[in-house]
Amino acid sequence: MPATRLLIAMTLACVLCGCGQMANQEISTHTPVGSDPMEKWSRSCSLCHINGIGGAPRVGDSEDWAPRLAQGDEVLLTHTVEGFNNMPPLGYCMDCERSDFVTLIKFMSSGLRP
Ligand code: HEC
């Protein structure tokens, strides 16, 4: 159930970056389901990026993301769209736009909810 996964992810992201205030604050900003990038995240990227399945960099884990970010945004975007080793093309998000991927990558690498 996506809502549960989202909650787990938020909790995890919070524990990982040690900012207890963040979740409560961010959750109040509501966007309609469908256009909400977090809804897309919770039914696609979260499947692997919460627990690091297959070696996926974990959401909000700055150590996991540091070497990825060092490659630059363009490389990350290309690897997301075209796939990269165990990372499937489009990350299972068939209705994601490029701008969604940018938002989702930013979210995962920072742990900050869009
Ligand atoms: C089936 C599991 C799976 C799903 C679903 C998934 N990923 Fe990944 N992702 C991975 C794995 C595994 C890696 C690590 C690949 C490697 O470095 O060999 C990865 C790596 C990445 C990277 C880093 C690429 C790099 O160049 O270092 C980005 C960015 C990324 N994923 C974004 C996403 C986004 C955005 C989504 C959702 C739209 C998503 N992923 C969904 C498994 C997944």
Q: Per residue in 57-75, pLDDT tens?
A: 999 999 999 999 999 999 9
Residue-number span of the structural domain to which 99 is assigned: 2-110
- Which residue in this structure is represented by tokens 């409560």? 24
Q: How many domains does the chain have?
A: 1
- Residues across the chain: 114
Taking 50 as the threshold, does the pLDDT of residue 101 lie above it?
A: yes
CATH number at residue 31: 1.10.760.10
CA of 22 to the centre of ligand 1 (A): 24
Mean pLDDT of 77-104: 97
Residue located nearest, by CA, to atom 2 of ligand 1? 48
From the list 15, 62, 101, the residue with the least C-alpha distance to 7 is 15
Look up the pTM and report it.
0.78
- CA–CA separation, 15 and 24 (whole Å): 13
Mean pLDDT of 49-60: 97
Question: Quick check: 50 and 2 in contact, CB under 8 A?
Answer: no
Q: Which residues contact ligand 1 via a Cβ below 6 A?
A: 44-45, 47-49, 53-57, 68, 71, 75-76, 79-80, 84-88, 91-93, 96, 101, 104-105
From the list 54, 56, 59, 55, the residue with the least C-alpha distance to 5 is 59
- The pair of three-digit structure tokens given for residue 43, joined into one six-digit string: 């039914």
CA of 54 to the centre of ligand 1 (A): 9
